[in-house]
């Protein structure tokens, strides 16, 4: 079977569901323009490779196509996790049960986990993500530059935070720190617990 082309997934909530933490305007643009561009880009890279395989006589620039596939497919995957990692804002929003216990064991306390994750998010140079990833029994906080650099290969992200300017600039201008600190109230900890497994 040939590689399946990607479709833009629906959001599990309305565009205004995360207000006032993330505005409807940002969510609309972010989903229908930015995420869609990664879907289109990943499909275009697959199309180019498929045409080349079919022996149409086209030349192919492997370096460029591999770079495009990595960037766009990673962008698609991270955004798909990001949308489901969020829900309507709640006060005193925090994990419980096995997830809370795991975070406490691995990072010292929930507050220490939050400080480390937020620290990583605020420190991303340029465009990127903070991610909580699972690696067999362990969890790690990593920084991802763009969508595909500096991450740890073979690990699975279970909580991701987009700190590209397109994710917050309309609401927070250049204050990424305020965006990161506000974001905790919309984290869908049930989704993170499910991904922890
Ligand atoms: Mn984004």
CA 91 → CA 21, 35, 182, distances in Å? Answer: 12, 29, 11
The reply to whether 106 and 156 lie within a common domain is yes
Q: Ligand 1 centroid to 67 CA: how many Å?
A: 18
Q: Ligand 1 centroid to 75 CA: how many Å?
A: 8
8 within domain boundaries? no
Q: Ligand 1 centroid to 166 CA: how many Å?
A: 6
Q: Give the separation between CA 2 and CA 178, rounded to whole angstroms.
A: 44
The reply to whether 75 and 109 lie within a common domain is no
The residue behind tokens 């192919």 is 60
Q: Ligand 1 centroid to 5 CA: how many Å?
A: 20
What does the pLDDT look like over 7-24, one tens digit per residue? Answer: 999 999 999 999 999 999
Q: Which domain holds residue 62?
A: 24-84
Q: Give the separation between CA 125 and CA 68, rounded to whole angstroms.
A: 21
The reply to whether 109 and 71 lie within a common domain is no
Q: Ligand 1 centroid to 138 CA: how many Å?
A: 27
The reply to whether 108 and 44 lie within a common domain is no
The reply to whether 47 and 121 lie within a common domain is no
Q: Ligand 1 centroid to 136 CA: how many Å?
A: 27
**pLDDT score of 58:** 81
The reply to whether 156 and 122 lie within a common domain is yes
Q: Give the separation between CA 176 and CA 146, rounded to whole angstroms.
A: 16
Q: Ligand 1 centroid to 58 CA: how many Å?
A: 33
What does the pLDDT look like over 36-67, one tens digit per residue? Answer: 999 999 999 999 999 999 997 888 999 999 99
Average pLDDT, the chain: 97
- State the helix-helix crossing angle for 189-196 and 97-107, rounded to 10 degrees: 80
The percentage of residues in the chain with a pLDDT greater than 90, rounded to a whole number, is: 96
118 within domain boundaries? yes
Domains of the chain: total: 2
Q: Ligand 1 centroid to 116 CA: how many Å?
A: 21
Answer with the one of 59, 84, 109 that is the final residue of a domain: 84
Answer with the one of 57, 84, 111 that is the final residue of a domain: 84
Q: Give the separation between CA 75 and CA 166, rounded to whole angstroms.
A: 13
Looking at residue 145, which CATH number applies to its domain? 3.55.40.20
What does the pLDDT look like over 137-168, one tens digit per residue? Answer: 999 999 999 999 999 999 999 999 999 999 99
130 within domain boundaries? yes
Calculate the CA 13 to chain-centre distance: 17
Low-confidence winner among 90-94, 98-102, 138-142, 161-165 (lowest mean pLDDT): 90-94
Q: Ligand 1 centroid to 86 CA: how many Å?
A: 14
Cβ 33 vs Cβ 24: under 8 Å: no
Q: Ligand 1 centroid to 54 CA: how many Å?
A: 33
- Within the chain, what is the greatest distance between any pair of CA atoms? 60
The closest of 144, 148, 153 to 124, measured between CA atoms, is 144
Beta strands at 156-162 and 138-145: parallel, antiparallel or unpaired: unpaired
**pLDDT score of 56:** 79
Looking at residue 33, which CATH number applies to its domain? 1.10.287.990
Q: Ligand 1 centroid to 52 CA: how many Å?
A: 30
Q: Give the separation between CA 37 and CA 79, rounded to whole angstroms.
A: 11
């Amino acid at each position: 079977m040939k590689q399946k082309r990607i479709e833009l997934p629906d959001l599990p909530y309305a565009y205004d569901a995360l207000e006032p933490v993330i505005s409807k305007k940002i969510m609309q643009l972010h989903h229908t323009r930015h995420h869609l561009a990664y879907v289109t880009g990943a499909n275009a890279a697959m199309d180019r490779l498929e045409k080349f395989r079919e022996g149409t006589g086209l030349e192919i620039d492997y370096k460029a196509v591999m770079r495009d596939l990595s960037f766009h497919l990673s962008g698609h995957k991270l955004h798909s996790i990001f949308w489901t990692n969020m829900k309507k804002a709640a006060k005193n929003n925090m994990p419980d049960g096995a997830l809370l216990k795991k975070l406490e064991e691995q990072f010292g306390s929930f507050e220490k986990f939050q400080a480390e994750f937020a620290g990583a998010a605020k420190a991303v140079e340029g465009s990127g993500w903070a991610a909580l990833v699972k690696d067999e029994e362990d969890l790690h906080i990593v920084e991802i530059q763009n969508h595909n650099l500096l991450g740890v290969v073979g690990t699975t992200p279970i909580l991701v935070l987009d700190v590209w300017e397109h994710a917050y600039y309309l609401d927070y201008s250049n204050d990424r720190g305020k965006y990161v600190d506000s974001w905790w109230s919309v984290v869908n900890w049930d989704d993170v617990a499910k991904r922890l497994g």
